[in-house]
Amino acid sequence: MSQTMLKVENLFCERDDRVLFDQLSFEVDGGEIVQIEGANGSGKTTLLRILSGLSRNYEGEIYWQGEPIEKVREEFRAELLYFGHQPGVKALLTPEENLHWYCALHASLDPARVQEALEQVGLRGFEDVPCHTLSAGQHRRVSLARLYLSDARLWILDEPFTAIDKRGVAAKEALIGRHVAQGGSVILTTHQDLQGSGAVRSINLDRQGERG
């Protein structure tokens, strides 16, 4: 179960004349939660974007299950769920339409389970109203419904708990815990402490910056 999923070696990245991290190396195993910590502007989001493959402005090596990531992009993307700052939800489409398109993008997902996923995030009854009529929290929950749909092994979550109420946070934490128990991995940033999700390893980028 605890095979190495993602391995990062000597990662270097600079932004606006500033070194964000230098010689950053770590591994993420199956069944592990890794929390990226750091002050605002320490490069948390940048790191997550690099790991997910969105940003290519870095030096160093990233391996996915032992293979250099450039070689296994497609396999990696099939195993990845990325949750970014922007929720990736079209305001003019209904929650259902949004998730159906997401299923189309990830061929292995079953569109028949969209209803179920929306129910899980408490959006039952909102399936067919355009998302721009929903509240900010509901809007975000549409995007979070992807966590229930997904069969990806690696979750990269950037601030997944903002604009979510307490009860929602607890449900999300339980979901993350279950994902990890099944052998999946989670890399996330959050301002809140994670509770009851098992072992959380943290990587602090502030110390990185000083070293670099």
Partner 1 sequence: MNQPLNPQRRPAIGMGALFAATLKRDLKLSLRRKSELVNPLIFFLMVITLFPLGVSPEPGFLAELAPGVIWVAALLATLLSMDSLFRTDFDDGSLEQLLLSPQPVMLVVCAKVLAHWMLTGLALTLVAPLISVMLFLPAEGVPGLMLSLLLGTPTLSLVGAIGAALTVGLKRGGVLISLLVLPLYIPVLIFGTGAVQAAVTGLPLDGYLALLGALLALGTVLAPLAIGAALRISVSG
Q: Which residues bind partner 1 (CB under 8 A)?
A: 52-57, 74-75, 77-78, 80, 82, 84-93, 97, 100-111, 130, 148, 150-151, 153, 178-179, 182-184
> Least CB distance from residue 211 to partner 1, whole Å?
25
C-alpha to C-alpha distance for 133 and 145, rounded to whole angstroms: 18
The DSSP letter of residue 95 is: H
Angle at 120 between CA 148 and CA 184, to 5 degrees: 25
> Least CB distance from residue 69 to partner 1, whole Å?
13
CB-CB contact of 2 with 156 (8 Å)? no
| Residue carrying the six token digits 């010689």 | 23
> Least CB distance from residue 178 to partner 1, whole Å?
7
Q: What region, left, alpha or beta, does residue 169 occupy, with left being phi > 0 and alpha being psi -120 to 50 degrees?
A: alpha
Nearer to partner 1, 39 or 189 (CB): 189
Buried b (16+ CB within 10 A) or exposed e, 168-200: bbebbbebbbebbeeebbbbbbbeeebeebeeb
Nearer to partner 1, 77 or 200 (CB): 77
Nearer to partner 1, 39 or 91 (CB): 91
> Least CB distance from residue 201 to partner 1, whole Å?
20
Nearer to partner 1, 76 or 208 (CB): 76
Q: How many helices (H) and strands (E) does the chain have?
A: 7, 9
> Least CB distance from residue 77 to partner 1, whole Å?
4
Nearer to partner 1, 16 or 193 (CB): 16
> Least CB distance from residue 207 to partner 1, whole Å?
26
Nearer to partner 1, 56 or 206 (CB): 56
Beta strands in the chain (DSSP E): 4-15, 18-29, 33-37, 59-64, 67-68, 80-83, 154-158, 185-189, 200-204
